[in-house]
Amino acid sequence: MRTRRMLAQALRGLNRNRLRSFFMATGIAVGITVLTVVLSAGMGARERIMDRVRVFGFENMMVWAGGPTDQTRIGGGAGGGGGGEGSEITATLKLEDAEAILGEVRGVREVAPFSRAGQTEVRWRDRTFTSPTFGVTPEWADVWDWYVERGTFISHEDNQLLARTAAIGPTVVRELFGAEDPMGQTILVGGVPFEVTAIMEAKGTSAGGGDMDNRVFVPLSTYMRRVANVDYLSGIRVQVQNVRYMEPAAADIAALLRERHNLAPGMPDDFRIRTPTEVTAMVEEMQGTFNLFLIVVATIALLVGGVVVANIMLISVSERRGEIGLRKAVGARSRHIRAQFLAESVAVTFLGGIGGILLGLIGNVILERFTATPALLTWHVLAAGIVFASVVGLAAGLHPARKAAAMPPVDALRS
Amino acid sequence: MEQPLIQTRELSRVYQKDGTVGVAALTGVSVVIRRGEFVALVGASGSGKSTLMNLLGCLDRPTSGSVVLDGQEVSRLDEDELAEVRSRKVGFVFQSFNLLPRTSALENVELPLLYTDRPDLAGPARAALEVVGFPADRFDHHPGELSGGQQQRVAIARALVNDPEILFADEPTGNLDSTASDEIMALFTELNRQGRTVVVVTHDAEVARHAHRVLTMQDGRIVSDTAAVAAEPGPPAEEVVS
């Protein structure tokens, strides 16, 4: 029998037993709804974590001042907006350490030392804005892949001359200057006057949810001596030449810093090194746990749906003995009967799968409204829903179809 | 002599009940049915007439003995081979019509064509419905919207749609009132007059009167055959039966 005719027969069979078909489709739809919601939520969460990893950059590591006490944030620093906060100020990480790392550690391409304060008052005329302020060197731009929109970023000369130049983010521009042109204007950063020489390109919201455009960047030397009055760094961002150098470079840096800081064996580090390897490992572990959970939930949901379909199909087969007998009497072979019931089972679960995806979309909207979990729906989720539903239909229909095909026509007609 | 349409030899059918004790529904039946005959198979219920029809119609296989249908030995064919034979050579009409519910008359008649290579379904189905005198304005009606007589006409059209060698009808008037019964039997008579071989299974003497030959069954055997009296098909059966 032709495939199209067979499908038409299957759909007519389902149409003749609408209530039963509805129950079967619902059984599968529930399973696919769960699958869709869980899969979307999982992919959304994964995407959010990967965003953080991306901001961190795969060829970059962070060297933070302060021992390994409470630092668990992923991709902190300028991206996260407060990675080092909360730990005690450690005054041992120096600019010379950064120079030593660049000069002595193999595979290091660039270092960007910085010093910062989470909240500094920035003033222009009578307006004030509280901003995270960073003292940086020109390397900052390259290692963060973060450039100016207008003007010139902090230069080496600025650092040598303790220049009072500032590069400000778009949020700072909006809050302080409104419609006026900030270029060349003088702002007070922590009470110290700086000339605005650059406006940073918009970076938007960080993975952690913070505004990345509310920053003020000034020369590192000026910041340390004039604003913060410190002689130590908050951290150093280190870029390696190749991802391959990441782990050995991290080990070398640790050894170098211990030596330079005169730490005897047994003494804890007074710095922390965060590599993306570590971050991705953490992400993958979380992802693995989540995937397992997802597989378990989806399997249970689909198993339940499959059992419902298999049961109703079995009932359907025994209730339709007369139809089966008739079809055989007028010439249907066993394979025709088998194909018909299999097609019915797959068709009903296929339709149930589509229904489940639609319900899942609604579920996603509800989930997003009541939780902070963003749902990410890709074609993978849609395809998975349809494929799983159809496979369950095929598996659930196998036994009933075989049973129908094996019915002797005389017995089937007698009922 | 012309090859008979059906010839059986020592046909027996034993049903296994509870795995051990066999119930013989049919014992050593040898019968010949020629082309163009109109045969009534009568007997009390349990006499074996339905069992014989199932074997002649290739719905079932005998425990022993042979059935030759249109020159082909069919008693040892497997299920699918039998289905193939039914598809090409046999049409069935049942007491309870056995139409698919919520399915139009036309689509019900198309059903046997689904299991053939025929590209066109509607054409032969329409033709078959016209042959049985089914009103054309009801082709799209579902069985639930039709009278018993009309439903049985649809069922007969379905049995005819593959142009079978032989038509089997199992108590075709059992669910019909007398008027509809007369119309249906008149239809069978007309189909037989056009050359179609017809076998009707019934316990109703009124129905059997339409046949030219009556085989009476009892306890799994043919106990009387009017053809033994009248060697050629032709003389009206009622002369012999009544």
A70 and A201 housed in the same domain: yes
Enumerate the residues of chain A whose CB falls inside 8 A of the CB of residue B111: 326-327, 330
A66 and A33 housed in the same domain: no
pLDDT tens digits, A79-133 = 333 444 444 467 889 999 999 999 999 999 999 999 998 888 999 999 999 999 9
Lowest-pLDDT choice from A70-79, A95-104, B45-54, B145-154:
A70-79
**pLDDT at residue A69, rounded to an integer:** 58
A231 and A288 housed in the same domain: no
CB distance A330–B79 less than 8 Å? no
pLDDT tens digits, A264-294 = 898 888 999 988 877 777 777 877 888 788 7
A301 and A392 housed in the same domain: yes
A273 in a structural domain: no
A310 and A342 housed in the same domain: yes
Note down the domain range covering A116. 60-241
The length of chain B in residues reads 242
Q: Which residue, A181, A213, A241, sits at the end of a domain?
A: A241
A254 in a structural domain: no
| Structure-token pair, residue A367 | 């989930």
**Cα B137 → chain centroid:** 28
Given pLDDT bands bounded at 50, 70 and 90, which one contains residue A1? low
Q: Which residue, A241, A272, A299, sits at the end of a domain?
A: A241
| Chain A, chain B: beta-carbon pairs less than 8 Å apart | 70
pLDDT of residue B237 exceeding 50, the answer is no
Enumerate the residues of chain B whose CB falls inside 8 A of the CB of residue A323: 100
- Report which of A46, A44, A37 is spatially closest to residue A297, judged by C-alpha positions: A37
Any B CB within 8 A of A380 CB: no
Highest mean pLDDT: which range of A36-40, A46-50, A80-84, A314-318: A314-318
Given pLDDT bands bounded at 50, 70 and 90, which one contains residue A381? confident
Total tally of structural domains belonging to chain A: 2
Any B CB within 8 A of A374 CB: no
A299 and A364 housed in the same domain: yes
Instruction: Give me the percent of chain A exceeding a pLDDT of 70.
Output: 91
Neighbours of A413 (CB within 10 A): 23
A77 and A220 housed in the same domain: yes
A97 in a structural domain: yes
Given pLDDT bands bounded at 50, 70 and 90, which one contains residue A56? low
Higher pLDDT, A169 or B22: A169
pLDDT tens digits, B79-126 = 999 999 999 999 999 999 999 999 999 999 999 999 998 889 999 999
CB distance B100–A5 less than 8 Å? no
Strand A127-136, strand A216-219: pairing: parallel
- Can you tell me the distance from the alpha carbon of B45 to that of B201, in angstroms, rounded to the nearest whole number? 11
pLDDT of residue A186 exceeding 80, the answer is yes
A248 in a structural domain: no
pLDDT of residue A67 exceeding 80, the answer is no
**pLDDT at residue A86, rounded to an integer:** 44
- Can you tell me the distance from the alpha carbon of A106 to that of A256, in angstroms, rounded to the nearest whole number? 12
A86 in a structural domain: yes
A234 in a structural domain: yes
**Cα A242 → chain centroid:** 24
Q: Chain A closest CA to B214's CA: distance in Å?
A: 24
A78 and A212 housed in the same domain: yes
The mean pLDDT of A176-189, rounded to a whole number, is 92
Is ipTM beyond 0.95?
no
A258 in a structural domain: no
Instruction: Give me the percent of chain A exceeding a pLDDT of 90.
Output: 55
What amino acid is encoded at A324 in this protein?
A: I
A199 and A114 housed in the same domain: yes
A305 and A367 housed in the same domain: yes
pLDDT of residue B173 exceeding 70, the answer is yes
- Report which of B112, B51, B48 is spatially closest to residue B85, judged by C-alpha positions: B112
**pLDDT at residue A415, rounded to an integer:** 58
To the nearest 5 percent, what fractions of chain A are helix, strand and coil? Answer: 55, 15, 25
Angle between helices A276-319 and A246-260 (to 10 degrees): 140
CB distance B60–A1 less than 8 Å? no
Q: Which residue, A181, A211, A241, sits at the end of a domain?
A: A241
A146 and A295 housed in the same domain: no
Radius of gyration from C-alpha coordinates of chain A: 32
B231 Cβ contact partners less than 8 Å away, ≥ 6 residues apart: none
CB distance A335–B116 less than 8 Å? no
A14 and A77 housed in the same domain: no
CB distance A410–B54 less than 8 Å? yes
**pLDDT at residue A219, rounded to an integer:** 96
pLDDT of residue B140 exceeding 60, the answer is yes
A16 in a structural domain: yes
